[in-house]
């Protein structure tokens, strides 16, 4: 199974029979129509699943709907807020609310919650359990908020984390935000995640170009027997065994 980092929260998982794109925002190249998606993946045979966790423009790009002009076998699975915000039509995708699921011969997808808008995705494919957080995180903004606000944000996050842990106590791979804009404790949500859910591989997202800030999470991940995928550039690829 191959994992490719596109940009921001965008990742691609590929198997021999199909591929899954999470939260496409921009391709991995220097221009919008250049990079791994356009130069390689859209030209490959096999089913393509396109998942979007919510309507924010850094997680959902309507350009993905034009991909069906290049690929016949494509399945769109979006959070229902994308429909409610009129970013897509009812005929253009399958829309999921928290607690709902999709399944076919290749993949099982269950929608979990978020601490922003939309949903997160727990998927099972090829015997592996893989999670994409969307905007689920401990958005505490501790350096800017008062203690009560930060505490409420943390409480909401930990409640969602417990719901996920009740179904998935172990993950083969988690794609999860590490956002330096949060300030002093920017890794707090990620640390809480790997402490609560046994995670083999951790793929960071939502960090812009702050690769050094993301790399700083490696020691905390190792403490919980988790391996951080150390990204250095867009288009980076890893084999997940």
- CATH code: domain of residue 205: 3.60.15.10
User: CA 21, 5, 63: angle at the middle one, nearest 5?
Assistant: 45
Which pLDDT value is given to residue 228? 98
- Residue by residue, pLDDT tens for the chain (241 residues) are 999 999 999 999 999 999 999 999 999 998 888 999 999 999 999 999 999 999 999 999 999 999 999 999 999 999 999 999 999 999 999 999 999 999 999 999 999 999 999 999 999 999 999 999 999 999 986 666 677 787 898 999 999 999 999 999 999 999 999 999 999 899 999 999 999 999 999 999 999 999 999 999 999 999 999 999 999 999 999 999 8
Cα 10 to the chain's mean position, in Å?
A: 7
| Separation between Cα atoms, residue 26 and residue 233, nearest integer Å | 14
Sign of CA dihedral 59, 86, 121, 102: negative
Which pLDDT value is given to residue 145? 64
Contact 146, 21 (CB under 8 A): no
100: left (phi over 0), alpha (psi -120 to 50) or beta: beta
Range of the domain at 102: 2-239
Per the structure, how many domains does the chain have?
Answer: 1
Strand pairing partners for 50?
21, 76
Contact 53, 8 (CB under 8 A): no
| Separation between Cα atoms, residue 58 and residue 63, nearest integer Å | 12
Strand pairing partners for 177?
205
The beta-carbon contacts of 234-238 under 8 Å, at least 24 apart in sequence, are 234/5, 234/6, 234/7, 234/28, 234/29, 234/35, 235/4, 235/5, 235/6, 235/28, 235/29, 235/35, 235/36, 236/4, 236/5, 237/2, 237/3, 237/4, 237/5, 238/2, 238/3, 238/201, 238/203
């Amino acid at each position: 199974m191959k994992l490719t980092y596109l940009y921001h929260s965008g990742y691609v998982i590929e198997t021999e029979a199909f591929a899954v794109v999470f939260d496409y925002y921009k391709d991995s190249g220097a221009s919008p129509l250049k990079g791994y998606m356009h130069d390689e993946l859209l030209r490959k045979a096999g089913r393509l699943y396109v998942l979007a966790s919510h309507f924010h423009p850094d997680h959902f790009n309507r350009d993905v709907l034009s991909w069906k002009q290049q690929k016949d076998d494509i399945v769109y699975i979006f959070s229902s807020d994308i429909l409610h915000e009129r970013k897509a039509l009812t005929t253009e995708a399958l829309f999921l609310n928290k607690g709902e699921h999709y399944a076919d011969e290749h993949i099982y997808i269950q929608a979990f919650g978020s601490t922003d808008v939309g949903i997160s995705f727990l998927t099972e494919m090829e015997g592996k359990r893989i999670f994409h957080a969307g905007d689920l995180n401990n958005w505490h903004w501790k350096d800017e908020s008062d203690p009560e606000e930060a505490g409420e944000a943390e409480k909401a996050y930990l409640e969602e984390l417990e719901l996920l842990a009740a179904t998935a106590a172990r993950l083969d791979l988690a794609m999860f935000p590490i956002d330096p804009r949060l300030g002093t404790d920017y890794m707090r949500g990620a640390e809480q995640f790997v402490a609560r859910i046994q995670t083999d591989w951790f793929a960071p997202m939502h960090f812009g170009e702050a690769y050094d800030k993301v790399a700083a999470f490696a020691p905390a991940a190792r403490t919980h027997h988790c391996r951080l995928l150390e990204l250095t550039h867009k288009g980076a690829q890893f084999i997940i065994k």
